[in-house]
Structure 1
Amino acid sequence: MTVNVEYINPFLMASSRIIKEMCFVEAKIGKPYIKEPIFLDNTIIIIIGFTGKIKGQVLIAFEHDVACDIASKMIMMPVTEMDDFAKSAISELGNMILGNAATIFSTQGISMDITPPTVGTGSMAFTHAQATNICIPLEYDNNKKIEINIAIKGV
């Protein structure tokens, strides 16, 4: 199944914009690729679904040290452990990214509602029925990486 790039670009635009505004870093968008949505032990994932004209979910994945770095930048204090406050910060980052993407889609006449974010940690695997998981890495500060995983159903 192919996914129209017009459905991917709003997520990328929103991700790079919000990361720049909230974390004060310029994230470089890497090459998109198809990835099985399987994550290892040291991973923190923000899961947000969306419904409307297009349906699916976004999994924003960070290795533990990158999640701590992003949370540190957001709350402007050092974060060394992903406690409830740090998880709340990166959860809100995901909320802002998807909210911004929904706004971009609305300017194209595509309505979208998003679910509240869920934060997952540890080894996880997901199955997307009728959807291909497209992974787009965002890199900053010499090798720190955030993965934006987008699975859109039926387009």
Structure 2
Amino acid sequence: MAALNVDHINPFLLATSKILKEMCFIEPKMDKPSIKEAVFLDNTLLIIIGFTGKIKGQVIIAFEHNTACDIASKMIMMPVTEMDDFAVSAISELGNMILGNAATIFSTQGIDMDITPPTIGKGTMSFSHSYSKNICIPFIYDGDKRIEVNIAIKGL
């Protein structure tokens, strides 16, 4: 497995911070990155987006139910207490915006990539990648609300 290249991780982190600030009006603080298994518990909502091109892999953005409701509330500017179709659509679009923004950052570096449409997962799940370790970068806002960005890039 190749050494970890932060140049391949940073565009995802920059895009996540930018989109959360601009679309959700929050100031996320990046917590300590770690390598961890992609295992998610029952009260979790996931946005799963793959990417292909010069670099290939997958991003899984994970929210606990209450955090997902909070983010959806901020995006649609009305209270959300359950992840109905409208709230899930907003969360899906958040994933599109983050990965689309990351793809734009990569393109300025001469790295072309295409993203897949988002898939939404709910509940207990685990993923394994035979081609990569899962790098988890938590973003914290409002003291205790946590959004996990899980990145697996082929070759890293």
Q: TM-score, normalised by structure 2?
A: 0.98
The answer for the alignment partner of 1:139 in structure 2 is 140
The answer for the alignment partner of 2:85 in structure 1 is 84
SS state at 2:134 partner: strand
The answer for the alignment partner of 2:43 in structure 1 is 42
Matched, 1:17 2:8: no
The answer for the alignment partner of 2:9 in structure 1 is 8
SS state at 1:103 partner: helix
Letter in 2 for 1:24: F
* Runs of 4+ deviating beyond 3 Å: none
Letter in 1 for 2:143: N
Matched, 1:100 2:84: no
| Structure 2 unmatched ranges of 5 or more | none
| Structure 1 unmatched ranges of 5 or more | none
**How many pairs are equivalent?**
155
Name the % identity. 75
The alpha carbon displacement at 1:58 in A equals 0.1
The alpha carbon displacement at 1:127 in A equals 1.1
Aligned positions of 1:104-115 closer than 5 A:
104-115=105-116
Q: For 1:92-151, what per-residue CA distance to the aligned partner results, in whole angstroms no more than 9, with x for missing partners?
A: 000000000000000000000000000000000101111110000000001100000000
Q: TM-score, normalised by structure 1?
A: 0.99
